[in-house]
A and B are shown apart, each in its own frame.
Chain A
Amino acid sequence: MKKIEAIIRHFKLEEVKEALTKINVVGMTVTECKGFGRQKGHKEQYRGAEYTVDFLPKTKLEVVVTDGQVQAAIDAIVAGARTGKIGDGKIFVSNLENVVRIRTGESGESAV
């Protein structure tokens, strides 16, 4: 099992969700977050005073998939989230030790 965390543009969430649903990823967790990478921050102005805001609003998506689904899920996220401009985000993939479904107590791949 793998956990995929993807930092994406907030307005791309819908498309990513559609793409993942198509390849039978049945659940996901979404968090509104802030951060920066190569895109850096942006400028805001209030009453003529300019502020550099470093942390940009982004959306963090977490999905857990079986080993066989990993590549398809990554492709789906890339397809849904890409604009081609700087600031599209990143995908992090890591090994997952265990998953437990709280309602039934099932664990492992059957709980994904």
Chain B
Amino acid sequence: MTRRWLLGLSVGLVCALLAGASWAQEEKAAQPVETPAAVVAEPTTLPVAPATPAAATPPAAHLAGAYDTGSTAWLMVSAALVFFMMPGLALFYGGMCRAKNVLNMFMCVMVCVPIVCVEWVAYGYSMAFAVPSAITSDAGQDDQGVAKPPLSYLGWDPGLVLFKSFSQVTPVDGPSSFGKTVTSGDTTAAISTGVPELLFAMFQMMFAIITPALIVGAIAERVKFNAWCLFVLLWATVVYNPVCHWVWNVNGWLFQKGVLDFAGGTVVHVLAGVSALALILILPKRRGYPGGQFLPHSIGWTLLGAGMLMVGWFGFNAGSAVAIGKDYLPVAGATAVMAFAATAIAGSAAAGSWMVAEWLHSGKPTSLGVGSGMVAGLVVITPCAGHVSPGSALFIGLIGGIVCFFAVLAKQKIKYDDSLDVVGVHGVGGALGALLVGIFAVRPVMGGFDQFSLQVQGLLATGVYAFVCTIIIGTLIHKTIGFTVDEQTEDEGLDLAEHGEAAYRLT
């Protein structure tokens, strides 16, 4: 009990300090713009002040020139759709747990929302997408002898800490009032996508939230809640933010090399899958595994969750058209449509191919298999979505369902307790997609051997980094506060012991 209080207290204290420090700075910075804001806010002066900047420059026309309203609207919807994947994931995972652990599963997924949101606003976005980089190396020169931009390994911009750059809203500021209109991390706005940066930051926040949540499926039914909360914060900071910077920031070293990752096959699924594998290796198995009765308590929930995930995935993939670059604008345009189609096609195809593979291999087509196959197909198409043709998406989906089915089967051979098959679905599926995009890409570059070897490099760099970091973070937590619950808690169920609640009651 004391340990838990201490943990909560220290997290709260750090947040309060961070917030306090930034407000103090913000106050100074905000002073110059206070005057027009005060004038607008004062109702009595409004009718007798026709000469305010707002009246002199009609904001509507001004904004229309800078923002692409269609793209902005689509990206806002996409961000909400990605958030919708959180309850989807909670149901998907919760249904596969035993009835005594389902609320704990919900909590472990949903707690990523507050933890990562605070982290992202406080410093995560700055680490991932700031352009003034903290660590860089020289990239040499291109064929014409012109110096290439330096390779960046980590971003840092004090202006983005606590989203300070986004705090000014005045009519005259127009396009820059919510930050500039950016292309993936290009905060100098050299290439305008017509989407305000604050929205880009929010869209990316949803990705940062769901990625650690994916990991918990691997250590479900035995993870200690306070340890999980601590892990999410550390992992998001140490693993997600830097890798996100490498792959998606226009200055990131993997982005500069030309590694393709449309919507997060590497950044989201490989990271989650590899980290899940690392945790499985260092943490104890569930008591009685293998051999015990670890049966899903409500497949219906899992299928409902899988359906919600697919709906959310349309935003996840088609919204990621924001990042493909200046030659493929607008954001809500052809690339988004391609990504949308690829997502629908691959998810559906994989549901079928997993079902058929299971039918032939194990004798029966199962509903859990169809749900799992659909998610596997969506994982595999994630890095490919806007880069490949619809025909390739069909093929990638069919392959994805079969490969992930056999990856999940392999778990039983090696006797790892990956509770809900995160490694088999997200790790293997993400890696497969990250490699296949190197072969099937048609835009912005053509796939082939060169692109494939780039993809291998990207996969190895991110995979090894995530694996090593997760081993270190996981071991630290396990040796100090303990990462898994004691035997009695595991037997009684995590819902009652960890949260004091029961999911089901007869009356």
- Which A residues form the contact surface with B (CB < 8 A)? 44-51, 53
Contacts and interface: CB of A to CB of B under 8 A. Distances in A.
A46 B293 contact: no
A11 B213 CA distance: 41
Contact of B362 (A45, A51, A53): A45
A75 to B, nearest CB: 33
A51 B293 contact: yes
B296 A48 contact: no
A46 B369 CA distance: 8
A47 B293 contact: no
Contacts of A49: 412
A51 B292 CA distance: 9
Contacts of B366: 45-47
A46 B409 contact: no
26 contacts: A44-B295, A45-B362, A45-B364, A45-B366, A46-B295, A46-B366, A46-B368, A47-B366, A47-B368, A47-B369, A47-B372, A47-B408, A47-B409, A47-B421, A48-B358, A48-B361, A48-B362, A48-B405, A48-B408, A48-B409, A48-B412, A49-B412, A50-B362, A51-B293, A53-B293, A53-B295
B145 to A, nearest CB: 56
Contacts of A50: 362
Contacts of B412: 48-49
Interface of B: 293, 295-296, 358, 361-362, 364, 366, 368-369, 372, 405, 408-409, 412, 421
Closest 3 CB pairs of A and B: A48-B409, A47-B408, A48-B362
* Central interface residue in A44, A49, A50, A53, by most chain B CB within 10 Å: A49
Nearest to B293: A51
A53 B292 CA distance: 10
A55 to B, nearest CB: 10
Contacts of B364: 45
Dominant secondary structure of chain A at its interface with chain B: strand
A81 B384 CA distance: 57
Given A46-B366, A50-B362, A51-B295, 10 more contacts: A44-B295, A45-B366, A47-B369, A47-B408, A47-B421, A48-B405, A48-B408, A51-B293, A53-B293, A53-B295
B388 to A, nearest CB: 28
Contacts of A53: 293, 295
B97 to A, nearest CB: 12
A71 to B, nearest CB: 35
A46 B372 CA distance: 10
Nearest to A47: B408
B147 to A, nearest CB: 52
Contacts of B358: 48
A53 B358 CA distance: 20
A51 B296 CA distance: 11
A50 B362 CA distance: 9
A46 B361 contact: no
Contacts of B296: 46
Contacts of A45: 362, 364, 366
B93 to A, nearest CB: 13
Nearest to B299: A46
B370 to A, nearest CB: 11
A49 B361 CA distance: 11
B196 to A, nearest CB: 43
B144 to A, nearest CB: 54
A44 B408 CA distance: 17
Contacts of A48: 358, 361-362, 405, 408-409, 412
A80 to B, nearest CB: 27
A52 to B, nearest CB: 9
Nearest to A44: B295
Contacts of A47: 366, 368-369, 372, 408-409, 421
B321 to A, nearest CB: 33
B377 to A, nearest CB: 15
A45 B369 CA distance: 10
Contacts of B362: 45, 48, 50
**Interface-central residue, A44, A47, A48, A49, by most chain B CB under 10 Å:** A47
A53 B294 CA distance: 11
A26 B261 CA distance: 70
Nearest to B302: A46
Contacts of B293: 51, 53
Contacts of A51: 293, 295
A21 to B, nearest CB: 26
A49 B362 CA distance: 9
B433 to A, nearest CB: 20
B178 to A, nearest CB: 45
B205 to A, nearest CB: 32
Contacts of B408: 47-48
A60 B366 CA distance: 30
Contacts of B405: 48
A44 B293 CA distance: 11
